Amino acid sequence: MVGMLSIRDVSVEVGGRLTAVGASFTLRAGDKAGLVGRNGAGKTSLLKVIGGENEPAAGVISRPKAFGYLTQDPKKRGTGVDANGLSHVLSGRGLDLLAQRLEKLRLDIELDPSERNITKLTRTQEEFERLDGYAAESEVRTIAAGLGLKSDRLDMPIDALSGGERRRVELARILFAGSDALMLDEPTNHLDVDAKEWLMGFLKSYRGALLVVSHDLELLDKAITRVLHLDEGELIEYKGTYTQYKTARKADEERRGKVVARQESEIKRLSTLADSMRGQTQKRARVAKTLDNRVDKMEATKLTAAKKERVMRVRLPDPPRAGEVVLQAHELAKAFGRNTVFEDVTFDIGRGERVLVMGLNGAGKTTLLKILTGAIEQDLGDYKLGHKVSMGYFAQEHETVKAGHDLMSHMQEHAPVLTDQQRRDLLGMFNLSGDMAKQDASTLSGGEKTKLALAMLVGGSHNLLLLDEPTNNLDPPSRTAVGTALHGWKGAMILVSHDPEFVAELAPQRVLMMPEGTLDYWSNDYLDLVSLA
């Protein structure tokens, strides 16, 4: 059936554990479902299986031919014939290749105006027109603008864009392609308020099948009509909005709790009765055996109470003492090709000071942080760390999380002074405990990668942290826990964030406006701009 997305009895295995068992659902054209669950429940792993990135442990998946899938980590290289964003988006309909072929055929006709070449050109031009090729660039730029991506950024090479910009380009490609079904993993990451509003309007009017994972509760409430709840391997479907799901889920958990209590009470009663009959007459012994069998059957089929979500309590150690000035930057400048990102940026950071870096997308916030870490080189200017400064970096694209290495290997590299037990304790503090310590980090969900990156920072004994969107992919309780912990930390911070609540919790002293490099003292008036910048 065109536009239908169906999974039947699907099981998903990650790192030797089943994160979904016998999951089934069907989405037809017009159905819009949100997949929800705590960080680490297996949402992203399920999407990877549905999207064809990974194989299911069991079950059957049917998806339409025209299928759009936004992953949490878009590739750094585009799929277009040119390396820029525009070509990548056009490739969603194959228009980049068609345009290239048209140009080649026109040149061929100039050299050889044969009937064969003219027929080829005519057919290719008809296909180009059928796909609205001549209006395509205008449509692409309209979609990109709606997602908050400036037109000139589309003309830049994909690998020169920030992670947030690449994500916008990939989302624009998927929306432009005109899929019968969309599957979006955290589509509002890196989007400002206007872009979110545009996306919500698009998804509300979208006529295909939609499956979305998001911690953006407003998106879930406005755009979806069904909720799929995943936890402990079980997938349960609820009709209605996210708010209606929360009410229904709470009622389900209360009912389930009462059933579990009754079952446990009956099991205890029968077990006690059986024990009282043992060692007596043969008849009573047979009755005891019958009761034992009943207890065994009840134990095998009994429900378990809904597990309460583990509350993450993050405690950061006091930072080692640094000099009075922890970082100085002087007249930094960076350009990619002809595009100047910023120039003449000068600032310093004092011991224990918090500076928020603000600016529109493409203003160079992430580029600045990468220069300060040495990941990329500035074109002009210089910077230096202060006395006894140890710098830690949280990268929004999880560059510090390496495929093929387990969690403990990451902790050993970034927290070498700790014992293995201390490293395990630190992972446990971020709800990455047990067998997960030996799990390949590339199999983690986006939220789990964020937690691992934060655990590595905490274990590194730093006194200066560079934080680039550290709350991306975190569920609300985890976001609160991280904000509370960083609020009480006494080290210095340079922060990039679109999250007003998180910024308010950290209470920065100054603001660095990019790309101008203007410094200003913090005021709560800036909070209104945080989600826009």
CB 530 within 8 A of CB 499: yes
pLDDT score recorded for residue 37: 84
pLDDT score recorded for residue 303: 66
CB 69 within 8 A of CB 211: no
Q: Count of residues for the chain?
A: 533
pLDDT score recorded for residue 220: 79
Asked if the domains at 1-66+180-263 and 325-530 fall in one CATH topology, the answer is yes
> Within 13 Å of residue 47, how many CA atoms lie on the same side as its CB?
30
CB 46 within 8 A of CB 230: yes
Report the distance separating Cα 298 and Cα 186, nearest Å.
41
Q: Which fold is adopted by the domain 325-530?
A: Rossmann fold (3.40.50)
Q: Sketch the domain layout of the chain as residue ranges.
A: 1-66+180-263, 78-178, 325-530
DSSP assignment, residue 179?
-
Q: Which of 357, 386, 381, 387 is nearest to 369 (CA)?
A: 357
> Within 13 Å of residue 480, how many CA atoms lie on the same side as its CB?
4
The four Cα atoms 201, 205, 208, 210 give a dihedral, to 10 degrees, of: 30
CB 510 within 8 A of CB 352: no
Query: Which residues share a beta bridge with 26?
Result: 6
Report the distance separating Cα 307 and Cα 232, nearest Å.
9
Report the distance separating Cα 390 and Cα 318, nearest Å.
13
The CA angle 242-245-250, to the nearest 5 degrees, is 135
- Report pTM: 0.69
CB 433 within 8 A of CB 421: no
Query: DSSP string spanning 353-401?
Result: -EEEEE--TTSSHHHHHHHHHTSS--SEEEEEE-TT--EEEE-TT-TTS
Domain 1-66+180-263 has CATH 3.40.50.300: yes
Place of tokens 């299928």: 67
pLDDT score recorded for residue 324: 94
pLDDT score recorded for residue 369: 94
pLDDT score recorded for residue 1: 44
Q: Which of 345, 347, 349, 451 is nearest to 394 (CA)?
A: 451
- What six digits make up the tokens of 247? 């009410």
**Mean pLDDT per 10-residue segment, the chain (533 residues):** 79 85 92 86 89 91 90 72 86 88 86 86 88 90 88 83 81 88 86 82 88 82 88 88 86 80 85 82 82 83 64 80 94 88 94 92 88 93 95 86 90 89 88 83 84 88 92 82 88 91 91 93 85 66
Report the distance separating Cα 400 and Cα 134, nearest Å.
42
